[in-house]
Structure 1
Amino acid sequence: MKTTQPDTKTKLIEAAMELIWKGSYGSVSVDDICRAADVKKGSFYHFFPSKVDLAIAVMEESYTLLQPELDSIFSPGTEPLARFERLADAIYEFQAQTAVKYHQVCGCPFTSLGSEMAGQEAGIRAKFADIAHRRERYYVNALRDLVAAGQLPETTDVQVKAQEIYAYIVGQLVIARIENDLELLKRDLKPGLLKILGAGNRTEKAA
């Protein structure tokens, strides 16, 4: 059976995704990316005018790979509070897998790039905001279902609450990366989310 080989553009995106995520944008050069992708430097500039353009493509590709899992986690057929519990579990499992692969807690690729470069590159800042808004839409829909089910007050501003949830998750991932502490996510992420949702006793009962 014939194996399909990734095209040059895909190889560059995949190599950059891995190098930038486990290291940093500043520590990775175009030469490093080309070497990891086994691509000539001229080919790099054929597809990407600059490293910034590649970084933006990496952010978009990372989200594209994540989206099917978000669709599954936030399926309307799942009880709304359970969607957030499933999200916490999925985040932990993914971080555990990458920690085994890279021998460190890598945190969120969008956040790592955004926090490092958003102050210097408007394109990266805009892409980070775009991805944040797309993720928050999942939270907003689940929060609306919680309000409809009487599990949140009718006065809840679901947009503000979604932003609070996103900020909490990002913060937990940043701290876990800085401290290289996977157990922090296992211990704190789900209970913290449930407290934000006013359901902190749910984890206490489960325990």
Structure 2
Amino acid sequence: MPRVSDMKERLMDAAMDLIWENSYGATSVDAICERAGAKKGSFYYFFKSKSELAAAALEDCWNKKKAEMDSIFSPTVPPLERFDRYFNFVHDRLAEVQKKCGSILGCPFISVGSEVSTQDQIVRETIDRIMDRKLNYFVSAVRDAAAEGVIDAPDPVAKARALFSCYQGMMAQARIQNDIELLRGFKEVAIEVLGVKRTSAMSSS
């Protein structure tokens, strides 16, 4: 029997899992409560609506990922290696999910954001904030790579945004085609987008 003390966390975890596996629109409050082992009264004790729960679940999901992102993009790691490590991390994580559920689920923030962008302001604004935080890791790495002379980036923000958008698009394509190998081959794309000098290219492993 779930403890009342951890029910809010269970509801957020259940919502995140169901929304990522299915979609925001297809996930009902009843389904979330069933997955969390909660009664509807508990749901409305913590959250006013599915929208409010989804926003909280997305923030909670990001907070759980932040330590990993901080480690991957640590300033102590060479800038191109940061991208190398990040692409490996995402590939391996999505490959594990594919083995578990049979499908590539892609980025949960992009998946939900593209679905609700014109429908739910609370969720959209939450995703906007999270995506800005993710982009900042790319900006920092691009700026440091330019400072080291391994790429040319007169406008680090623009170059980081181009790479970030390209990678999100590749994840969407991998999800549509259910093909994890599309992500494995992204490093060569990243090298071209960044304009990496070949003597400093990222690992191809």
Change (3 A) 1:90 1:206: closer
1:192 to 165, 174, 189: 189
Deviation at 1:6, TM superposition (A): 6.7
After superposition, the C-alpha distances for 1:47-73 in whole angstroms (9 at most, x for unaligned) are 111101111112111111111111111
Aligned match of 1:106: 105
1:206 shift after superposition: 5.2
Aligned counterparts of 1:5 and 1:80: Cα–Cα separation in 2: 44
Alignment CA distance shift 1:80-1:5 (3 Å): farther
The sequence identity of aligned pairs, in percent, is: 40
Residue number in structure 1 paired with 2:78: 79
- CA distance in 2 between partners of 1:46 and 1:115 (Å): 29
> Between Structure 1 and Structure 2, how many residues are aligned?
201
Aligned residue for 2:150, secondary structure, equals coil
Q: Which runs of 4+ in 1 moved over 2 A?
A: 199-203
Q: Distance in 1 between matches of 2:22 and 2:89?
A: 23
**Unaligned regions of 5+ residues in structure 2, if any?**
none
Corresponding position of 2:139? 140
Partner of 2:11: 12
After superposition, the C-alpha distances for 1:113-160 in whole angstroms (9 at most, x for unaligned) are: 10001111111221111011111111111111111111223x521111
1:34-55, CA deviations, whole angstroms, 9 ceiling, x for partnerless residues? 0110100011011111101111
The structure-2 alpha-carbon separation of the partners of 1:34 and 1:5, relative to structure 1 and needing over 3 Å to count, comes to closer
Aligned residues: CA RMSD? 1.9
Cα distance, 1:5–1:90 mapped onto 2, change above 3 Å: farther
- Aligned residue for 1:58? 57
CA distance in 2, matches of 1:180, 1:62: 23
Contact conserved, 2:150 with 2:197, CA < 8 A, in 1?
no
Separation in 2 of the partners of 1:200 and 1:194?
8
**TM-score of the two chains, using structure 2 as the length reference:** 0.92
Match in the other structure for 1:164: 162
- 2-side partners of 1:78 and 1:182: how far apart? 26
